[in-house]
Amino acid sequence: MSELAAGTGVDAAALPLVHEPLPADEVVIGRPTTAVHTLATIGEVEVGVWEMTPGTASDTEVDEVFVVLAGHARIEFVEPALPAVEVDRGSVVRLAAGQRTVWTVTETLRKVYIA
């Protein structure tokens, strides 16, 4: 499936995604995989669906707001140091470019992101 055409829709929670292993240098615990599907690009803003299977991985973030559709995770903010957040269905989170995070996914996490 490609990007959505204007005037069309998709069930983001049921959208089939193709997973790939994370790079070894990002994996902290387990064998998590991720998948992403871009739904639309509007100007310089990308909207898509992202998913990660259980495990722990580190990341350097981009400017993003996301809404969790399913799953559960704990996001630790390493740099800058901020309190960790627990996310599950319905959580809305704002990330900033350059933040270093560690994601511990305990139930496959699926989110819609705007970045």
Sequence spans of domains, the chain: 20-114
Q: Which residues of 17-27 are buried (b: 16+ CB within 10 A; e: fewer)?
A: eeeeebeeebb
pLDDT digits (tens, 9 = 90+) for 13-50: 999 999 999 999 999 999 999 999 999 999 999 999 99
Global pTM reads 0.95
Cα 60 to Cα 3, 10, 44, 108: the distances in Å are 25, 29, 19, 20
Q: Are 115 and 63 in contact (CB under 8 A)?
A: yes
Query: DSSP class of residue 5?
Result: P
Which CATH number, 2.60.120.10, 3.90.226.10, 1.20.1250.20, 3.30.1330.10, labels domain 20-114?
2.60.120.10
For residue 87, give both structure tokens. 């996310």
